[in-house]
Chain A
Amino acid sequence: MAARVYLVSLLLPILAAVCLGCENPKVTPKVYSSTDATIVELVAFVGEFEVLCSDGDKNFPLFATLNDEVVPVTRTSDISKYIVSWAEEPSNAKSGSQVLRFFDEAGFGVFRKAQRAGEDVSKISPLFSVPLQLERAYKGPWVRSEFLAFAISVIIFYIAYSTKSHIMS
């Protein structure tokens, strides 16, 4: 009897861990990335993710990775949304197609273990992934419009002056 109780007590945390996982998550993302880098030192990415599990579970931690690097996840005070954000130099900012991978506690444990062991972490299946299409932020015009206007006026003056010299000669 005592052995059975002991076995059940051993199995309970495992069962709890299995039951606590989020099943069939439905994700509603709201994503922002800086498009104008003319007035900022760093460009930012902020993503708000509302996650609904089929079992209605809301209180579970999530961990996010981008390019196999861990990015911090925060939650709103009412725990309704998960927020992922980072800021980086405009010249080094991530752009193009990126995939933000979200793990639950168990999945993230496996990810960290594989990372420590130097294994390929891209094969670890996440709880869900969010594809991102990040555009490069606008850093201002290549040439200042004043300079362009000056250059065009110099060219026009040169053409006019050379034509005049040609006629006079």
Chain B
Amino acid sequence: MRLVWALGSWLVLACLSLADDVSPARLLVAKRLLNNMLVEGKDLLVQYGLYNVGGQAGLDVRLIDLGFPPDDFEHVVGEHSVRFTAWMWPSTLKAAFSGGNVTYNVVVRPRSYGYYNFTAAQVTYLPTEESTQIQVGYSSHPGQYGILSSKDYERRYSPHVMDWGAFALMCIPTLAIPYLLFYKSASKYQALMKHSKRQ
């Protein structure tokens, strides 16, 4: 009986120590530009992916991105300073967030063209429910991208409907005038031929 008690208490202690060993939340943050091409004045989609590879839920997760100054980028939708409400989530959802992932998207428009260095966003969070020290992390760094000027983009990739329309209009006189001249003389000869056949 004593042996059973000893074994039982050892198992309970082992389980408790295992529970204590659950690693704190560890967030990996990816900052991605979802565009194939960056164009002045056109929408630039930025996605932040937060992946928790830790054992516990990250609490009071905040993301700040100062990489889009208003002088260089027009803000379209989404905020550059947000908080993820994981700490408010119910326990079932907390468990889902721990080890899971969350994405967040922002849309901006570049105001000018040229090369631009896209820097990392900053993320802060509490790695455990008990911790009081804020963990600071940084997202991946997209790096330098070339932003195409809107004029260059239009020249290279637009369907040029107006240009082709103007070209077609300019082609019309060179095709229509000879055809009309031919049609006039042809109809004249056909009328003469019909007349001679009747005689």
Closest to A72 in B: B102
Q: Which of A46, A72, A77 contacts B78 (CB 8 A)?
A: A46
Closest to A85 in B: B105
Assess the B79–A77 pair: CB atoms within 8 A: yes
Query: What string of 1s and 0s marks CB contacts (under 8 Å) between B23-57 and chain A?
Result: 00000000000111111001101010000000000
Assess the B161–A87 pair: CB atoms within 8 A: no
Contacts of B173 in A (CB 8 A): none
Assess the B103–A75 pair: CB atoms within 8 A: no
A101 contacts chain B at the CB level, 8 A cutoff: no
B157 contacts chain A at the CB level, 8 A cutoff: yes
Contacts of B170 in A (CB 8 A): none
Report the count of interface residues on B (CB-CB < 8 A).
41
Q: How many pairs of residues, A versus B, come closer than 8 Å at their CB atoms? A: 111
B136 contacts chain A at the CB level, 8 A cutoff: no
A71-125 contacts to B, CB under 8 A, are 72-77, 79, 81, 83, 85-87, 105, 108-109, 112
Assess the B81–A76 pair: CB atoms within 8 A: yes
B159 contacts chain A at the CB level, 8 A cutoff: yes
A39 contacts chain B at the CB level, 8 A cutoff: yes
Assess the B85–A85 pair: CB atoms within 8 A: no
Assess the A32–B85 pair: CB atoms within 8 A: no
Contact (A39, B42) CB under 8 Å given A46-B106, A87-B103 = yes
Assess the B45–A38 pair: CB atoms within 8 A: no
Contacts of B187 in A (CB 8 A): none
Closest to B186 in A: A167
Assess the B77–A46 pair: CB atoms within 8 A: yes
A69 contacts chain B at the CB level, 8 A cutoff: no
Query: What string of 1s and 0s marks CB contacts (under 8 Å) between B70-86 and chain A?
Result: 00000011110111110
A152 vs chain B, min Cβ distance (A): 8
Contact (A41, B34) CB under 8 Å given A72-B102, A75-B85 = yes
Chain A interface (Cβ < 8 Å from any Cβ of B):
30, 32, 34, 36, 38-42, 44-46, 48, 61, 63, 72-77, 79, 81, 83, 85-87, 105, 108-109, 112, 141, 144-145, 148-149, 152, 156, 167
Chain B interface (Cβ < 8 Å from any Cβ of A):
34-39, 42-43, 45, 47, 62, 64, 76-79, 81-85, 88-90, 92-93, 102-107, 157, 159-161, 164, 167-168, 175, 186
Identify 24 residue pairs between A and B in the complex whose beta-carbon atoms are under 8 Å apart, listed by A's number: A32-B76, A32-B77, A32-B107, A36-B42, A40-B35, A40-B36, A41-B34, A44-B47, A44-B107, A46-B78, A48-B78, A61-B85, A74-B82, A74-B85, A74-B104, A75-B82, A75-B84, A85-B104, A85-B105, A105-B90, A109-B90, A145-B159, A145-B164, A156-B175
